[in-house]
Amino acid sequence: MIRLNLIVEGPTELGFIDKVLKPYLAQKNIFVSARCVETSRNRRANKIYRGGLSTYLKVRSDLLRWIKEDQNVGVYFSTMFDLYALPSNFPRFEEAHRLKDKYRLVEELELGFSADVAERRFLPYIQLHEFEALLLCDPGKLGDFFIGQEQAIGKISSQVNKFSTPELINLDLPPSKLIMDKIPEYGYQKASAGPIVGGKIGIELMRRKCQHFDSWLNKIENL
């Protein structure tokens, strides 16, 4: 049995992990615990605030805290953060952004992240370019949540079809804004829509269409 402790960027990713990825990996005897990254805490009120990626130091601090707390055998750690709007103080940020190939860019960031944390149980993952790339593996499934939006979804699909993979969608609009441009309601319903639409699409299709996502899951499955 393998346990995976996973720190994610926000509630949309957390919902996707809990409702879609966690059951998928459980079938492979890999059991996931996920939480949003800690952003601040009020010690007087004994309250922790989570969600959002403001600085790398907060990410590193939260990750190292969890690593220190859970030293059990068979436990590994990972992340799910968006490349889009990633804080510029991430390790090797400038070096990575000199690379034109986006897959090499994100891999360089992950290598820098891993080296800085210096923990053999850590498998960093940064999503190319946003979580919503996974939803654009089958834009039609947006219609299962946003009823009556067939015309808007058709326009989204026509944009998606211009790219070889949803992971490379980040030109005029990143994935989330491509959806919101046609379906504005997604902006305030993403935390509920993301996991539901992701569940309709399924992990296997996401793996076929998103090679970096698939590579991450291969690493987890091969632990």
Q: Are residues 72 and 105 in the same domain?
A: yes
Other CB atoms within 10 A of residue 42 CB: 9
pLDDT of residue 39: 75
The alpha carbon torsion through 83, 89, 91, 94 (nearest 10 deg) reads 80
Count CB atoms within 10 A of the CB of residue 184: 11
| Torsion angle of the four alpha carbons 159, 161, 166, 168, in this order, in degrees rounded to the nearest 10 | -80
Q: 145 and 51 share a domain? A: no
Mean pLDDT by 10 residues, the chain (223 residues): 95 97 98 90 64 88 95 95 95 97 98 97 97 98 97 96 94 87 96 97 98 98 95
**CATH code for position 96:** 3.40.50
d(CA 169, CA 175): 6
Question: Do both 70 and 163 map to the same domain?
Answer: no
Q: What is the pLDDT of residue 190?
A: 95
- For residues 13 and 119, membership in a common domain is answered with yes
- The pLDDT of residue 52: 77
Q: What is the dihedral of CA 92, 135, 210, 39, to 10 degrees?
A: 20
Are 49 and 109 in the same domain? Answer: yes
pLDDT number for residue 45: 59
Task: Tell me the residue range of the domain where 162 lies.
Answer: 132-203
Q: Quote the pLDDT of residue 38.
A: 85
- Looking at the structure, tell me whether residues 80 and 175 fall in a common domain: no
